[in-house]
Structure 1
Amino acid sequence: MVISVPADVADIVDRELSIFGAPDANAAYLLVDRHDPHAIAFTQVDVEDSVLRPVDVTYGELADKSRRLATALAARGVGEGDRVGVLMGKRVELAVSFLALMRLGAVYIPLFTAFAEPAIEMRLTSAAARLVLTESSQAAKVAGIEGIEVIVVENEFDALISDNDPTDREVAVGGDGMIILIFTSGTTGPPKGVPVPLRAVASIVCYLDFGLDVQAGDVFWNAADPGWAYGLYYGIVGVLARGYRNILLHSGFNAEVTARLLADLAVTNFAAAPTVYRSLKSDSAFGGYQLRRASSAGEPLTPDVIEWAPPALGSQVRDHYGQTEQGMFVNNHWRDGLRQEILPGSMGIAMPGFTTAIIDDQIAVDTTASPLMWFLGYLDAADKTASRYTADGRWYLTGDTARVDDEGHYFFTARDDDIILMAGYRIGPFDVESVLITHPSVVDVAVVGRRDELRGEVVEAFVVLDDATDPSDALEAELQDLVKTGFAAHAYPRRVHFVDALPKTPSGKIQRFLLRRG
């Protein structure tokens, strides 16, 4: 459905496409070098003995450090098209690493710090990566991966910057050149690689403008982890492209710290998963916020948060929808001229630059009338790519089912591919099942998401044991630990159900909907 938009909004779409889609587009120039060197790019906040310690880094500092790191990486053979993993938390060195790779025309592979070694190794191997930049707390996960060179932040990383001169090399990969290779989980096979071209940044900055209404005077905080799409696209890439500032909280999630940071740094524009808002809502002692805008993504926003937010935060929380493959493209937009009254249960309307509809009950994007669409296919997975399109190739199918009213408002109904949405993270059942089935006592397994008041959904596993093994609490704990060490700490099943058999179709497909019913 085409939504009527103001002329200045259409002009922004055209302008950004001409900048980031140009054949000679230079990522380093567009993301850092063209901006005011004295402007703050990131405020990294460390928490020491319950004290918040913010440190600002400017665009000039990012430019200098990334040039020096690029010199060091080039000396190690990193060049145009090479793929390099970055395994770090929310810290300035992650942005420096990203920009150094952009200067060399290399490809950035984001790696989530909660992943265990097998999940990291799979992504690096699939991407044919040759080097990883990481931090000391994560170094052990990559130390044993064959063929991967490792650079650790607290060790040689700092020396590589201080001991090298700034590079004068600038590689312009152009709008179609790949700058990021990010992996998304599925249900029937290993995670799929999504190549992100430079021209995708046009869509990313349009979401900052239209969906979030981030402005130059805002104190902006995207609280999502940059190991995933929302945190990377809109907390790192988008703010750099616009020359804005973002806050990087260099610690694990904590509701009290989040509340204090919102108040102490006078955040005016905040984006986070519904779980963050539910955590803030759970303690009425939090307050002192100065929010102008608040937005939510990663899973459907629940009505209780929508009702609680205006008096508690000083702002509505507006729900937005997107995917790793496309970024955000259906939103309850904040921008003047696009902002509409929130309808209960609606995730909004199509973002300018996208034309959408419901095809085969799924949210679909019209490839012929969506200039901001950038996904062209998964890495080395032609069959998976083909399954995402209608037979004539016109419509991209998201896999998420919804309905749309006559005014173009979308209402999420279900996930078509069984992805579990937990606290803003997308967890593929296949990833968890492939670890659990390695236990010698497990003969069959299925993983589903179950509704959870705080996290949205949590992982639950249904396990069939061999005849020689009896169910026990100890075995449940053992299986949970297996997932934590074999896949990811956040993705372990909160409950393991030991069953005699799994419900399956005559063709052998697991009927997950029956398991979700309880």
Structure 2
Amino acid sequence: MEPSAHVDTFARDSLPPQDQWPVLLLDHADTAYPPRLNCATELLDRAIDAGHGERPAIWSDVDGAPHATTYRELNALVNRSAHVLVDEMGLRPGNRLLLRGPNTLQMAVAFLAALKAGLVVVPTMPLLRAKELKQIIDKARISAALCDVRLTEELARCREAGEHHCATLTQVFTFHDDAPDALEVLAASKPDHFDACDTAADDVCLIAFTSGTTGAPKGCMHFHRDVLAMCDLFPRHILKPTPDDVFCGTPPLAFTFGLGGLLCFPLRAGASTVLLEKLTPESLLHTIERFKASIVFTAPTFYRQMAPLIGRFDVSSLKKTVSAGEALPASTRALWRDASGIEMIDGIGGTEMIHIFISSAGAEVRDQAIGRAVPGYVVQAVDDAMQPVPPGTLGKLAVRGPTGCRYLSDPRQQNFVRDGWNLPGDAVVIDEDGYVFYQARADDMIVSAGYNISGPEVESVLMKHEAVAECGVIGVPDETRGQIVKAFVVLNPGFIGDDALTAELQAFVKRNVAPYKYPRLVTFLAALPRTETGKLKRFALRAL
């Protein structure tokens, strides 16, 4: 590894042993980075050098009207804020900085300023409570935090005596605030030039904690070069943005899906992005209309809910829509295509890999498939002995590329990385052309009377029924069959969850897929349990 710029070496010291790392493919032309780089400098200063200084970088809603912050203005805000981090907060390269805020200009500024100063950013979802924040703060040994003033309550509990007390957290500064010691107020008097920390390309700059769908969250450690790699592969080869594109969407910046799609990708392309809080399907469509957005990132559930509303809005600017975060049902892809005329760009990514590594767009899309390996990555389906399985055979997804899993001091590293391959935990079929067909999470494959049944496939069929708003399918124990299929269903208005509808849904599934896949049990719910990033909590369904 390159000599670190970090004075505080906790992050590098906490990397897994190198023999537990995945094999990293660093010879791709798009990711041949110099040994020393700062990703914030590459995203901002290089954009200005390329002539984008006066172009919009971030769009906000100010008093009900769109407001653009240019690249030059954004860089000045970032540089002034970086001075505050170093001068007032006394932070030094390698210190971990917890960030807490919704998708706003101020959150983006804080993120980029921390990267420029050589800090290790630990972003957190706005809805996390003190108990969850304590897990993150203690594990990453965080001493300082920047927090949107509206979200300080739970963080304050981490500084009080009691079960959620965090001994390492010694200072919290606020932003989106007009107090004398708020980040923006202090930054206003600072110079707009800042000498970025001379970080190594393999210095840790981000610890992204998983959303906890599979238990205790894991800290995924990413380097400065990883942030650029996520910008230079999926966007360059699949999304193909231009400086005229306007990005928008719903994933939080604290989620790597949002960090890439709503901040880093647009900046790397010299494009602009809309950062707004608390979007609903209706207000996201309104945002596309108001800001003339051309690229949208959100989860499958949002696309399904936007489809019947789209005719009420002028979304003629919209050209590309990206779905990730959870499996995209074929029925949702078709519903969105029929409503918008746009073929969805689906993708598999993950916090461990930082972003999307399997996808296809346009004419490359194949029915029922997620796509192929993004250039720079290699994927295969393997058996339990890590041997490749023949094309068309069910196996566990294995992936290599320029990014990969490096957990922060976590024994689960050895579960995710085997024989140099990352194992995201997905059961897939890969055909002879390299197209990947997602079946389920490997742990969520339902084995009933010897049959392998994909929960997402059953979900996709159920969602074609007019009564079904959304659903989740799991396997539950059964003495005779080992497991049987159980569906949890949220109904559209006007439908009643009774025995008659249960029988109708079961018959509907039998008519559309092999009859052995039908849900033998159906439970009607008012809402499905989801994480803040929109992922279905299947473990919560199993607990029900």
TM-score range with shorter-chain normalisation?
Answer: 0.7 to 0.9
Partner secondary structure for residue 356 of structure 2 = strand
Q: Does 1:378 align with 2:407?
A: yes
- Amino acid paired to 1:119: E
Shift of 1:289: 1.4
- CA deviations 1:88-140 (Å, max 9, x no partner) are 10101111111211221101111100111211221122111111111122011
Shift of 1:281: 1.7
State the match for 2:131 in structure 1. Answer: 118
- Amino acid paired to 2:97: V
State the match for 1:328 in structure 2. Answer: 356
Which one of the candidate residues 430, 442, 445 is aligned to 1:416?
A: 442
Which one of the candidate residues 18, 43, 47 is aligned to 2:59?
A: 43
Question: Hey, what's the Cα distance between the residues in 1 that align with 2:304 and 2:81?
Answer: 40
State the match for 1:471 in structure 2. Answer: none
- CA deviations 1:273-299 (Å, max 9, x no partner) are 111111112336433212221221111
- CA deviations 1:396-439 (Å, max 9, x no partner) are 211111111111111111112469999xxxxxxxxxxxxxxxxx
Partner secondary structure for residue 370 of structure 2 = strand
The change in CA–CA distance for 1:119 and 1:395 in structure 2 (over 3 A counts) is: same
State the match for 1:152 in structure 2. Answer: 174
Which one of the candidate residues 339, 350, 364 is aligned to 2:373?
A: 350
Partner secondary structure for residue 323 of structure 1 = coil
State the match for 1:436 in structure 2. Answer: none
State the match for 1:394 in structure 2. Answer: 420
- CA deviations 1:56-113 (Å, max 9, x no partner) are 1111111111111111111222111011011010101111111211221101111100
The change in CA–CA distance for 1:304 and 1:240 in structure 2 (over 3 A counts) is: same
Shift of 1:152: 1.2
Partner secondary structure for residue 226 of structure 1 = coil
User: 1:205–1:242: 8 Å Cα contact kept in structure 2?
Assistant: no
The change in CA–CA distance for 1:115 and 1:331 in structure 2 (over 3 A counts) is: same
The change in CA–CA distance for 1:204 and 1:451 in structure 2 (over 3 A counts) is: farther
Partner secondary structure for residue 44 of structure 2 = helix
User: 1:88–1:138: 8 Å Cα contact kept in structure 2?
Assistant: yes
User: 1:27–1:172: 8 Å Cα contact kept in structure 2?
Assistant: no
State the match for 1:128 in structure 2. Answer: 141
Shift of 1:186: 4.8
- Amino acid paired to 1:340: E
Question: Hey, what's the Cα distance between the residues in 1 that align with 2:365 and 2:269?
Answer: 27
Question: Hey, what's the Cα distance between the residues in 1 that align with 2:258 and 2:104?
Answer: 12
Which one of the candidate residues 333, 357, 373 is aligned to 1:306?
A: 333
Question: Hey, what's the Cα distance between the residues in 2 that align with 1:45 and 1:205?
Answer: 29
State the match for 2:364 in structure 1. Answer: 340
State the match for 1:260 in structure 2. Answer: 286
Question: Hey, what's the Cα distance between the residues in 1 that align with 2:339 and 2:202?
Answer: 44
For 1:274-289, what aligned pairs fall within 5 Å after superposition? 274-283=300-309, 285-289=311-315
Q: How big is the alpha-carbon RMSD for the aligned residues of Structure 1 and Structure 2?
A: 3.4
User: 1:132–1:150: 8 Å Cα contact kept in structure 2?
Assistant: yes
Which one of the candidate residues 92, 100, 106 is aligned to 2:105?
A: 92
- How many residues align? The count is 419
Question: Hey, what's the Cα distance between the residues in 2 that align with 1:74 and 1:398?
Answer: 37
Which one of the candidate residues 187, 191, 210 is aligned to 1:161?
A: 187
The change in CA–CA distance for 1:453 and 1:294 in structure 2 (over 3 A counts) is: farther
- CA deviations 1:214-267 (Å, max 9, x no partner) are 222222224321121100122122222333211112x31222211112122222
Which one of the candidate residues 87, 91, 105 is aligned to 1:78?
A: 91
Shift of 1:514: 10
- Amino acid paired to 1:350: A
Partner secondary structure for residue 85 of structure 1 = strand
Q: Does 1:179 align with 2:193?
A: no
State the match for 1:3 in structure 2. Answer: none
Shift of 1:28: 3.0
The change in CA–CA distance for 1:57 and 1:13 in structure 2 (over 3 A counts) is: farther
User: 1:114–1:490: 8 Å Cα contact kept in structure 2?
Assistant: no
Question: Hey, what's the Cα distance between the residues in 2 that align with 1:449 and 1:328?
Answer: 29
User: 2:300–2:324: 8 Å Cα contact kept in structure 1?
Assistant: yes
5+ residue gaps, structure 2: 1-25, 160-168, 384-394, 446-454, 460-485, 493-524
- Amino acid paired to 1:149: Q
Question: Hey, what's the Cα distance between the residues in 1 that align with 2:431 and 2:285?
Answer: 36
The change in CA–CA distance for 1:397 and 1:491 in structure 2 (over 3 A counts) is: closer
The change in CA–CA distance for 1:298 and 1:315 in structure 2 (over 3 A counts) is: same
- Amino acid paired to 1:359: V
For 1:216-231, what aligned pairs fall within 5 Å after superposition? 216-231=243-258
Q: Does 1:363 align with 2:397?
A: yes
Question: Hey, what's the Cα distance between the residues in 2 that align with 1:491 and 1:88?
Answer: 20
The change in CA–CA distance for 1:417 and 1:116 in structure 2 (over 3 A counts) is: farther
Question: Hey, what's the Cα distance between the residues in 1 that align with 2:27 and 2:68?
Answer: 31
Question: Hey, what's the Cα distance between the residues in 1 that align with 2:443 and 2:426?
Answer: 7
- Amino acid paired to 1:151: F
The change in CA–CA distance for 1:341 and 1:239 in structure 2 (over 3 A counts) is: closer
The change in CA–CA distance for 1:29 and 1:203 in structure 2 (over 3 A counts) is: same
User: 1:86–1:108: 8 Å Cα contact kept in structure 2?
Assistant: yes
TM-score of the two chains, using structure 1 as the length reference? 0.73
For 1:348-497, what aligned pairs fall within 5 Å after superposition? 348-360=371-383, 361-365=395-399, 367=400, 370=401, 372=402, 374-381=403-410, 383-390=411-418, 393-417=419-443, 450=488
Question: Hey, what's the Cα distance between the residues in 1 that align with 2:291 and 2:234?
Answer: 24
- CA deviations 1:337-359 (Å, max 9, x no partner) are xx41431x211111111111001
Q: Does 1:16 align with 2:30?
A: yes
Q: Does 1:109 align with 2:122?
A: yes
TM-score of the two chains, using structure 2 as the length reference? 0.70
The change in CA–CA distance for 1:211 and 1:148 in structure 2 (over 3 A counts) is: farther
5+ residue gaps, structure 1: 1-11, 423-447, 455-475, 495-511
User: 2:310–2:340: 8 Å Cα contact kept in structure 1?
Assistant: no
- Amino acid paired to 1:297: A
Question: Hey, what's the Cα distance between the residues in 2 that align with 1:109 and 1:416?
Answer: 29
- Amino acid paired to 1:235: L
User: 1:13–1:206: 8 Å Cα contact kept in structure 2?
Assistant: no
State the match for 1:195 in structure 2. Answer: 221
User: 2:247–2:295: 8 Å Cα contact kept in structure 1?
Assistant: yes
